[in-house]
Amino acid sequence: MGAVDDRVADAMRRAARKNFLPPDQRPSAGADRPLPLSHGQTNSQPSTVAEMLRLLDVPEGASALDVGAGSGWTTVLLAHLVGPSGSVLGLELVPELVDFGGANVAAAGVPWARVEAAEAGALGRPAQAPFDRILVSAMARELPDELVAQLADPGVLVIPVAGRMLRVTRGGGVEVRRLGYYRFVPLR
Ligand SMILES: C[S@@+](CC[C@H](N)C(=O)[O-])C[C@H]1O[C@@H](n2cnc3c(N)ncnc32)[C@H](O)[C@@H]1O
């Protein structure tokens, strides 16, 4: 776990949170709490992001899906974890955040990561599945089968569901571990 922790901490040093915030929020970048983006959405709390990335245990070269890319921060953090031999697809529902997050990702110098608009009525991106790792930064009411179906074998999905963080692993069968309690904006 030590080595994994170091990789997450290193990724967080390389992708400074302030570069993913609206100008009026940048002075608060060091605060360990969610910060407002626009349209009622938030840039997640850094300690929660770090915890989710540790749970995701992202190997170099992985293909990752980032559902709820928002500011693009998690997309770029994942990009540093997978490295240039991997790929990251960030999906976002709010068009203005697709532009904002997409521009932040483009400016981060990680061309193996991108942000695209989520397709209405389709969760994730089944056409590009399977993904080795799936990170979801918005709260689902129940574990979405359609995201589990987009997980590679082996693969890991980290998603908040009904107040709890879930770590879902596929390795032959599917195993679900329920972890701590968290708050997130809703997955729509
Ligand atoms: C906590 S916020 C953004 C966190 C983001 N990872 C960051 O680092 O800034 C969660 C985002 O999920 C988006 N969202 C909600 N449901 C979604 C869906 N079905 N597909 C894609 N994005 C979704 C929201 O619009 C919101 O921007």
Q: What is the DSSP string of 27-62?
A: GGTTSSS-EE-STT-EEPPHHHHHHHHHHHTPPTT-
Q: Could you confirm whether 137 is annotated as catalytic? A: no
User: pLDDT at position 120, please?
Assistant: 82
Question: Domains of the chain: which residue ranges?
Answer: 2-15+37-181
Report the predicted TM-score, pTM, of the whole model to 2 decimal places: 0.96
| Region for 150 from its dihedrals, namely left if φ exceeds 0, alpha if ψ lies in -120 to 50, beta otherwise | alpha
Residue 160 has pLDDT above 80, yes or no: yes
The Å distance, Cα 95 to ligand 1 centre, comes to 11
To test the pocket of ligand 1, the residue of 41, 116, 159 to mutate (highest count of ligand atoms within 8 Å of its CB) is 41
Which residues, other chains included, contact 117 with Cβ-Cβ below 8 Å and sequence gap of 6+? 91, 92, 93, 95, 98
The Å distance, Cα 21 to ligand 1 centre, comes to 14
Cβ of 52 below 6 Å from ligand 1: no
- Contact, 45 vs 17, CB < 8 A? no
- Class of the CATH-defined domain 2-15+37-181: alpha beta
Q: How do beta strands 151-161 and 131-136 pair? A: parallel
DSSP tag of 7: H
User: pLDDT at position 79, please?
Assistant: 98
Cβ of 188 below 6 Å from ligand 1: yes
Cβ of 65 below 6 Å from ligand 1: no
Indicate the average pLDDT of the chain: 95
The Å distance, Cα 69 to ligand 1 centre, comes to 5
CA distance 52 to 165: 8
Cis-peptide into 130, omega within 30 deg: yes
To test the pocket of ligand 1, the residue of 8, 76, 92 to mutate (highest count of ligand atoms within 8 Å of its CB) is 92
Residue 5 has pLDDT above 60, yes or no: no
| Nearest atom in ligand 1 to 43's CA | 9
User: pLDDT at position 1, please?
Assistant: 45
Cβ of 71 below 6 Å from ligand 1: yes
The Å distance, Cα 186 to ligand 1 centre, comes to 8
What counts of helices (H) and strands (E) characterise the chain? Answer: 5, 9
Residue 136 has pLDDT above 60, yes or no: yes
